[in-house]
Amino acid sequence: MSILGSLNWDDIFIVPFFKEPSTSTAIAAAAGGIVVLGALAVLVLLTVKGWWKPLWTNWITTLDHKKIGVIYIVLAAIMLIRGVLEAVVMRAQQVSPAPGFLSVEHHAELFSTHGTIMIFFVAMPLLIGLINVVMPLQIGARDMEFPFMNAVSLWLSVGGAALVMASLVIGRFETGGWTAYPPYTGIKLSPDEGVDYWIWSLMLTGIGTTLSGINFAVTIYKQRAPGMTLMKMPIFAWTTLCTAILMIYAMVPLAVASAMLALDRHAGFHFFTADAGGNMMNFANLFWLFGHPEVYILILPAFGVFSHVIPTFSGKKLYGYTSLVWATVAIAVLSFTVWVHHFFTMGQTAHLNAIFGIATMTIGVPTGVKVYNWMLTMWRGKLRFSTAMLFSAGFMFTFVIGGITGVMLANPVISFAAHNSLFLVAHFHNMLIPGLLFGMFAGINYWFPLAFGFRLDEKWGRRSFWLWMVGFYLTFMPLYAIGLMGAPRRMAFLTDPAYLPWLMISMVGALAVLAGLTSQVIQVWVSVKNRESLMVPAGDPWDGRGLEWSLGCPVPEHDFTTIPNITSREPWVEAKERGLRVMEPTEFVDIHLPKNTSMGFVVAMVATVGAFGLIFQMWWLGALCWIAMFVLVLIRSYDTDWEKTVTAEELRADYERHKHVVETTPKVSLDDEFTSKNRGLVIDMETAQ
């Protein structure tokens, strides 16, 4: 075996195009080219602008939970652009005259990367990022319980994403879908490096996610402000806690299943092969034992976001707090009892299918309760349609439709007729686009000022909402229809002429979604350009209710100057009702914050290089890197000089500074909420005195 393992010239992205020129290989070469040129452009920009040093000291080496969260969200944004572009290419492929411009396998690579990216490198980083930014601020903590581990999690996820991007340039990704069922993904039927890309990029991000889960759960258990009992916790913290527990338990089966698949492929094991006692059904079981809780990992944080956005923009207390808490816990528990519904068609007995079908529908109870609770929160409120609120309302309406088809699919008999069809594809997009993306978009629009100190542009935000909303309906309602007409999923071309008009509508929808995404890029661009007029230094730009809005925007590195005592569920609302505009300080004491360190980044990058070695069967490189990784963690563990002190005096000075800003900022009425008059401290003039 050569030192470069299975790597050879044909793996370089432009070589296949020169060997066999076709539209399909040209698109593959162009995609690789975009990645290479994009990376080069970033390098040039950083060098020309002299941003290397600030990037390194402020971001790459940071252990600040807010900055780590921001990097997660930036990662998700980059990957979302790729995922949406892939979706547009696939829609275009299906409306072109058969067999289209993509080869069957290239199309398969697209739907495989689309799914893998959207779940693991868009959805997960979005929610982990948002939790990182917001959750500690909501519970009165100064950081995560394990700040260094947080950095390791982050950079492992970035490493996994980098591998998926690398597959465009070197070699190729797998073609078996994001679920990668063997035996198709076994070494016999998928001999190239594609499946190994899937295994190792998921392994990296999976370890990162498990560590994040531990971090979130322990932070919530140990770092809550004094007086904040579990039942006084904000709902977003509750959904984070449940998500964290799901992460801890659910990521393990995935790691196990993909490790077993790796052993099958390269070490001659027979876990999932058809011969020598292997059985592929075990993979389906393990995968969905992860995969179904994963669905609720994705959706619970968004439920948390809605539980804050809706009360804030309804000017009203959250309806049914206790109900929402128990509904969240119930969903988390039940999510481990339904995984078989992903393969009702695998030949198990009718009784088993029926039990899992009923368990699945049971989840509909707490979920339905939540939607009603949000509706009752709006009822008798005063609704303001900010971008965040629009995304929340759009979610509720659309999600219910997905719920209807979800309960339909929970019936095994209906599943027999809709499994592997575009009806199913429409269903899960109907859950995840409103349920996850809209939730995260709402959360980002809502909490953005905490991280950056300025609001996002409302005009482009609302445009992006309408384009996403309309785009969603146009894209996926036709897929429901042709799914029922018998169109299977993952088909490179559909020849039945009856499908064509529906596919055309779907294509238009995909373009609308792309326009929505473009609006969001413009929104960020415009907001950064106009940041002076969007600044909210006094904090609380939306007449907010949670503890996080008692802080100035952007929130300083130490978060709270003093940790408040909590006596109720909405301490900030109560403080405002008592006429306060700054939380009363408790006791100023010296605090310790972790120093910046490059070690998290280095450890994860070493792991990524090692994973790359394993993908191309350079076993020596894999072994070397993974040993190096453990040595580095060991070195870090013996580092005693890792804290810096912020003195009580500094904190007091910061408190006085913030108080001064607040006292010199004029009150803003709700009418001026979305104008440049909003420098923070928005209040309802009609009720407040």
Report the nearest approach of another protein to the CB of residue 483 (Å): 8
Both tokens assigned to 591 = 């605090």
Give the Cβ contact number of residue 246 at 10 Å. Answer: 25
- End-to-end CA, the chain: 79
Q: 51 or 385: whose CB is closer to another protein? A: 385
Kindly state the smallest distance separating residue 458's Cβ from another protein, in Å: 10
Beta bridge partners, 142, equal none
Sequential DSSP letters for 606-643: HHHHHHHHHHTT-HHHHHHHHHHHHHHHHHHHT----E
**Nearest to another protein of 209, 506 (CB atom):** 506
Instruction: Tell the smallest beta-carbon distance from residue 196 to another protein (Å).
Output: 18
CB-nearer residue toward another protein: 67 or 308 = 308
Nearest residue (CB) to another protein, 99 versus 556: 99
Q: Which residues contact 106 (CB under 8 A, 6 or more apart)?
A: 24, 25, 27, 28
In the complex, the smallest distance separating the C-beta of residue 548 from another protein, rounded to whole angstroms, is 20
- Shortest Å, Cβ 688 to another protein: 11
Q: Measured from the CB atom, is 92 or 383 closer to another protein?
A: 383
Shorter beta-carbon distance to another protein: residue 364 or 585: 364
Going by the DSSP 8-state scheme, the letter that residue 563 receives in this structure is P
Q: Are 496 and 438 in contact (CB under 8 A)?
A: no
Give min distance, CB of 311 to another protein, in A: 9
Q: How far is the CB of 161 from another protein (least distance, A)?
A: 24
Q: What is the DSSP letter of 62?
A: -
Residue 384, classed as helix, strand or coil, is coil
> Quick one: 483 or 546, whose CB is closer to another protein?
483
With respect to another protein, which residue has the nearer C-beta, 497 or 579? 497
Residue by residue, DSSP assigns 97-108 as STT-SS-HHHHH
Tell the smallest beta-carbon distance from residue 598 to another protein (Å): 43
What distance in Å separates the CA atoms of residue 372 and residue 392, rounded to the nearest whole number? Answer: 13
Query: From the CB of 425, what's the least distance to another protein, in Å?
Result: 12
Q: Which is nearer to another protein, 54 or 488 (CB)?
A: 488
Separation of alpha carbons 84 and 467, rounded Å: 14
Rounded to whole angstroms, the Cα distance separating 240 from 137 reads 13
Nearest to another protein of 227, 315 (CB atom): 315
Phi first, then psi: what are they for 224, rounded to 5°? Answer: -65, 150
Q: Which of 293, 311, 196, 207 is nearest to 569 (CA)?
A: 311
Q: Residue 315 Cβ, how far from another protein at the closest point, in Å? A: 6
- Shortest distance, position 293 Cβ to another protein, whole Å: 20
Distance CA 66, CA 69 (A): 5
209 is written with which tokens?
């996610």
| Residues listed for the chain | 689
Question: 489 exposed, middle or buried (CB, 10 Å; 0-12, 13-18, 19+)?
Answer: middle
Three-state secondary structure along 285-297?
Answer: HHHHHHHHHHHHH
Cβ-contact 386, 674 below 8 angstroms? yes
Query: Which tokens in the block code for residue 162?
Result: 């980098």
Question: Dihedral of the CA atoms 508, 510, 513, 517 (nearest 10)?
Answer: -120
In Å, how far are 99, 221, 304, 345 from 256, measured between CA atoms? 38, 28, 30, 24
Give the nearer residue to another protein in terms of CB position, either 332 or 604: 332
Q: Give how far Cα 259 sits from Cα of 2, 193, 255, 265, 286, Å.
A: 24, 15, 6, 10, 11
CA atoms within 13 A on the CB side of 311: 20
Nearer to another protein, 640 or 687 (CB): 687
The pair phi, psi for residue 421, each rounded to 5°, is -110, 170
Question: Smaller CB distance to another protein: residue 80 or 426?
Answer: 426
Q: How far apart are CA 66 and CA 78, in angstroms?
A: 19
Minimum CB separation of residue 274 from another protein in Å reads 3
Partners of 668 in beta bridges: 682
Q: How far is the CB of 321 from another protein (least distance, A)?
A: 7
CB of 233 to another protein, least distance (A): 16
- Comparing CB distances to another protein, the nearer of 41 and 98 is 98
Contact 469, 398 (CB under 8 A): yes
